[in-house]
Amino acid sequence: MKLINKHSYITLLSFISFIITLPSPISSQACKNSCGNIPIKYPFGTGLGCGDPRFQKYVTCDDQEKLSLLTHTGCYPINNIDYTNQVIYISDPSMSTCSCTQPSKGFGLDWDAPFSFQDDTVFTLLDCSTTSSPIFRNSNNGSIVPQCDRTGAPICSFLYSCQAISRLSLPISTCCVYTPVDLGPAFEMDLQKLQCSSYSGFYSFNGQEDNPENWKYGIALKYKFNVYNDYPSSCANCERSNGVCGYGGVYNSFVCNCPNGFNTTSDCFFGGSYSLGSTLLPWQTGNGLIYSLACFLFWAFL
């Protein structure tokens, strides 16, 4: 066996030190494919570096495994995600329904949020002032004309017949049905500005138009993957290999998070061939990789 000279020894130590200071490209899987009982797929994620960066600040999964939508008007539980039709369904704890009526400040989407209201979503403004609300105006003959969806009159009648609302003895004229297009380009429903005390939202009659107790209350929001609404092929390949789509680096490039601890730029099939059940092999961890490389270099210098 040849003896290692002083110069080679110093070079070896310097190189090993350099390797150790490098960040490990391999880490445990940080992104999960579910949050509570809701499956998580692209473009959503469970934390920083997961899903699509455009959605990361709006959809979050907390430590209690609860998925929520964040906007400037509040935090709203996400009840379900329809990935086929690209719709998320949220609820507003301050929203009035047939079983409960309460004050609310309204709902709004951030102007740059990658969401829009689904066409089936209907908003009903409750207990609006007929004298000061901007949704009412005086006609030429002196009568008050609401700036509401005229076809929504039956909806107001059904809602105001609910026991929780009927106890307030509100005139039917204080109800106004708004469709999402009425909210304007800012998607803002400011009840203080509209001079209404509460609102109700639903996205389906559930086959019972005349029974508001069984309507599906909440808000349905559409989302798009990108301008052309194309599902990224790299992400589809990643998910087919049981990976979770994410992003990283300076330019938020695509990353596939794999169950075996690898983060790849393609899919998890290659990394999966090196896993042994749920146990990682030594070279699948950052320390093991450095140790193996250092040993190889040491013996190469001998």
Q: What is the model's pLDDT at position 293?
A: 46
User: Per-block average pLDDT, block size 10, for the chain (302 residues)?
Assistant: 51 48 47 94 94 94 94 95 97 94 91 90 92 81 74 90 91 85 69 92 93 95 92 93 91 90 84 35 38 46 52
Is position 281 within any domain? Answer: no
Q: Cβ distance 242 to 234 under 8 Å? A: no
- Together in a domain, 99 and 205: yes
Token pair recorded at residue 127 = 């207990």
Is position 165 within any domain? Answer: yes
- Together in a domain, 144 and 198: yes
Q: Show the domain range for 259.
A: 29-91+225-266
How many domains are contained in the chain?
2
Residue 54 to residue 56: CA distance in whole angstroms: 6
**Closest CA relative to residue 202, chosen from 282, 288, 126, 112:** 126
Question: Phi/psi class of residue 195: alpha, beta or left (left: φ > 0; alpha: ψ in -120 to 50)?
Answer: left
pTM above 0.85, yes or no: no
Q: What is the model's pLDDT at position 5?
A: 58
- Together in a domain, 100 and 84: no
Token pair recorded at residue 165 = 């609302």
Q: What is the model's pLDDT at position 302?
A: 54
- Together in a domain, 33 and 103: no
Q: What are phi and psi of 175, to 5 degrees?
A: -105, 140
Q: Cβ distance 136 to 144 under 8 Å? A: yes
- CA 263-269-271 angle, to 5 degrees, is 45
Q: Cβ distance 89 to 219 under 8 Å? A: yes
* DSSP H or E stretch at residue 239: helix 233-240
Is position 45 within any domain? Answer: yes
Residue 122 to residue 216: CA distance in whole angstroms: 11
Residue 28 to residue 18: CA distance in whole angstroms: 23
Residue 213 to residue 257: CA distance in whole angstroms: 43
Query: Whose structure tokens read 């749920």?
Result: 278
Q: What is the model's pLDDT at position 111?
A: 87
- Together in a domain, 200 and 235: no
Q: What is the pLDDT of residues 143-202, one digit of tens each?
A: 677 778 877 889 999 999 999 999 989 999 899 998 766 666 566 888 998 899 999 999
- Together in a domain, 51 and 69: yes
- Together in a domain, 77 and 150: no
Q: What is the model's pLDDT at position 35?
A: 96
Residue 290 to residue 296: CA distance in whole angstroms: 10
- Together in a domain, 237 and 208: no
- Together in a domain, 209 and 100: yes
Token pair recorded at residue 288 = 């093991």
DSSP β-ladder status, 244-248 and 219-223: unpaired
Token pair recorded at residue 35 = 């949050």
- Together in a domain, 98 and 204: yes
Token pair recorded at residue 121 = 């979503």
Residue 16 to residue 298: CA distance in whole angstroms: 9
Is position 16 within any domain? Answer: no
Is position 190 within any domain? Answer: yes
Distances from the Cα of 42 to the Cα of 31, 34, 50, 199, 207, angstroms: 11, 11, 9, 32, 31
Q: What is the model's pLDDT at position 150?
A: 78
Q: What is the model's pLDDT at position 58?
A: 96
**Closest CA relative to residue 90, chosen from 195, 223, 190:** 223
Residue 154 to residue 160: CA distance in whole angstroms: 10
Q: What is the model's pLDDT at position 178?
A: 81
- Together in a domain, 245 and 205: no
Helices and strands (H, E) in the chain, number of each type: 8, 19
- Together in a domain, 102 and 157: yes
